[in-house]
Chain A
Amino acid sequence: MNAGSEGTLSGWGRVPVPGREVRSEDLEALTRDAVLCRGLGRSYGDSSLPPPGHPVVAATPLADRILAFVPATGNLRAEAGLSLRALNRSFLPRGFYSPVTPGTQMITLGGMVAADVHGKNHHRDGCFGAHVTRLRMRVADGRIVECAPDREPELFRATLGGMGLTGHILEVECRLVRVPSPWVLTETERIHDIDRFIDGLKEAGSRWPHTMGWIDCLSRGPLMGRGILMKGRWAEPHEAPRGVPVPRRRPSVPFVLPGWVVNRWTVRAFNAVYYRRHVPAVRRAVVHPESFFYPLDAIGHWNRMYGPRGFTQYQCVLPESAGRGAARRFLELLTRRGGASMLCVIKDCGPEGIGLLSFPRPGISIALDIPIHDETQSLVDALNELVIAEGGRVYLAKDQLTRPEHFRAMEPRLAAWTCIRRKWDPEARLRSAQSVRLLGDRP
């Protein structure tokens, strides 16, 4: 999908490493000798990239068959390469949707499990893993095993959010949710600063299943953290237009834009226009679910916007214990360091799930894009030091630049997870570029 030039692979951030994909419909055969599976390559950093010593990944998207669906319960079983887009497009017309969806539907079921993805409804419905009832996996010694909350529960918990390192996910069984109509009712609201934003998210979260916000992370002083709060729920039949929303063809960024296109001034201009255009301050609408859940999917190859050196996405969660001021302290550091991010998304997280390395925990999550330049590593280091001091952590599905010592300081759960991984894979044969970097696996 976003394979780079000949002989390289990259994550969605477009920073390449040597590597290639091997593709097949037959996931059992494909995973026999593989060290890593890769779905649609939408993780931003190096979690879907091979270790330097074994530059081949098993690409899963051709293994995309639905194996069973029970309308009475919403129970679905499918091969791990099924994309969320195919799933939604098949089942929305019949009144079902994925219980949890990340900000892109270009992701496979296996990827949703491996990253234990969360969505706009995390405060209410938790991570995707909370809705997974069973997994079929090929573990490191070659055996195929099934795991579930009550069957090999340790392996199950270590696999949710385990970035594909505990075994190759072959099949996923989960529960879809019934929706009252195929349309989404939204309310968007302009918010003037970061403190009011956090109060607004909390307040909206008690009434709306889906909430998130876009913030202008270049504005300073009293306007710091101004932005737009988005709330949504599935429309009731009487609120919805007749008929089923039709998927739309999408425009695409045709080539890699030069590196100067996204800079502090263009981002500032974009942010100001986006913020000011939102009149009146509160708007309601009934919209296509794809435009509510996946606004960025509307532009193909949008990752080409950040120029030839690519970009990284930084996403952290600042725990409730750090207090309301933590988000302000984070934005102050970011604006002081001049991090220009077109996209800065803020969201409140609910309780921690059962995934041993899953990202969310109660608090505020902030995600931003940072184009790669000479200072990016030191900016990420500085942000990580602040996150450690606040007691938070980063999201592995986004990460490219975190240092191993920083990761260990953020993850007191790592020891328990490593212990289970060792039990199933004593030599850490299954590994990725990310696990080599963060966990010290052999290259």
Chain B
Amino acid sequence: MKVAFLGATRGMGRSLSRLMAARGDDVFLLGRDVADLERSARDLEARAGRGSVGAAPCDLEKPGGFAAALDAAEARLGGLDAVVVTAGDFARQEELERDVERARRLLEVDFTNTVVFCEHARRRLLARGGGTLAVFSSVAGERGRKPVILYGAAKAGLSRYLEGLDHKFRAQGLRTVCVKPGFVKTSMTDGLRPPPFAGDPDDVARDVLGAIDRGQPVVYAPPMWRWIMLAIRMLPRFVMRRIGF
């Protein structure tokens, strides 16, 4: 599979890109920091023991560069079967409430710009007759929850967008995979207190890779979060107002 990967240098993206490279997928890395991308590219080459991994700069804060970045990926890979997006912005709710400008940036990166990037990817995949678009949203978008109001709102919008893509374009060969990780122990969540059922990035990556291969439209990772979120969605408002979760 020829895969363009936005956000493979850290966290769950790093784990998932390693699994894909190790099984023989051709991976092309997109990200903000070119030196960091190069280090990740060497890591994937060394772990896969074959081939060479290309990289190009792409910053979710600069939508002007999306088309060129995907062009570079397509040219280097000689085609495109899948686009994976794990990049995103995160900040604690308290910080976002204090700083409106910070909140605006997060909303723009996690919703508007991510959707714009997906639009570029969608067009390219459809032009080739289809493919897989796997995007990391979050369980934070499932319900308005006190600790993740703004981040959750952006992710809720993203999940709806991906759902719509699936409804409209699956018949034309576009397989949309919306990944909804629960709490996963990565550097993004460092310093937050992990709840029970907190996941490990390598385990999440295995679950997500299975979903990508099956073309599953929505995947919770770790799978337990599907049931946790089902329960959370059913809680009445007066309970949600009282609990801190």
Contact = CB atoms under 8 A, between A and B. Distances in A.
Interface of B: 9-11, 14, 39-40, 42-43, 46-47, 49, 186-187, 190-191, 193
Contacts of A23: 187, 190
Contacts of A67: 39, 42-43, 46
Contacts of A6: 193
A69 interface: yes
A263 interface: no
B43 to A, nearest CB: 4
Most buried by B among A6, A24, A25, A68: A25
A68 B187 CA distance: 24
Contacts of A65: 39-40, 42-43
A24 B9 contact: no
A94 interface: yes
20 contacts: A6-B193, A22-B190, A22-B191, A23-B187, A24-B187, A25-B10, A25-B11, A25-B187, A62-B186, A65-B39, A65-B42, A66-B46, A66-B47, A67-B43, A67-B46, A68-B42, A68-B46, A69-B46, A76-B46, A90-B46
A69 to B, nearest CB: 4
Nearest to A67: B42
Contacts, number: 34
Interface of A: 6, 22-25, 62, 65-69, 76, 90, 94
A76 B39 CA distance: 14
A392 B239 CA distance: 65
Given A62-B187, A65-B40, A25 B9 contact: yes
Given A23-B190, A94-B49, 4 more contacts: A23-B187, A66-B43, A68-B42, A69-B46
B190 A24 contact: yes
Nearest to B202: A86
Contacts of B186: 62
Nearest to B49: A94
Contacts of B10: 25
A59 to B, nearest CB: 9
A65 B191 CA distance: 22
A414 B40 CA distance: 40
A66 B42 contact: yes
A227 to B, nearest CB: 37
A6 B191 CA distance: 12
A68 B42 CA distance: 6
Contacts of B190: 22-24
A58 to B, nearest CB: 11
Most buried by A among B10, B11, B46, B193: B46
